[in-house]
């Protein structure tokens, strides 16, 4: 329900032990806040690996990167 995020704003690729985010050329952009304090605006269409503890901000929505607990689908999609 975030009006500043489009349906195709961001791609999240999850592999064992690795997460990659790709801004798909969104109008409002995406910013990664790394665990070490760095703030990194994503460049459109450039994959960026994000580590545990990172926060991905798109619009007013935040995604917190952490380890999956049990069932990966429910861990990622929980509210």
Which tens digits make up the pLDDT trace of 6-46?
788 999 998 887 899 999 999 889 999 999 999 999 999 99
Q: Output 56 or 5, whichever has higher pLDDT.
A: 56
Q: Output 2 or 35, whichever has higher pLDDT.
A: 35
b/e string for 41-53 if b means 16 or more Cβ within 10 A?
Answer: ebeeeeebebeee
pLDDT at 65 exceeding the cut of 70: yes
State pTM to two decimals. Answer: 0.80
Contact 16/46 with Cβ under 8 angstroms?
no
Cα 53 from Cα 51, distance rounded (Å): 6
Sheet harboring 55-58: ordered strands across?
39-41, 31-33, 55-58, 61-64
pLDDT band at 49 (very low <50, low <70, confident <90, very high): very high
């Amino acid at each position: 329900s975030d009006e500043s995020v489009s349906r195709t704003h961001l791609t999240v690729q999850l592999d064992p032990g690795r997460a990659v985010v790709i801004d798909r050329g969104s109008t409002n952009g995406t910013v990664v806040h790394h665990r070490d304090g760095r703030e990194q605006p994503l460049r459109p269409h450039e994959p960026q690996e994000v580590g545990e503890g990172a926060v991905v901000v798109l619009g007013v929505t935040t995604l917190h990167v952490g380890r999956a607990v049990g069932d990966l689908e429910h861990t990622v999609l929980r509210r």
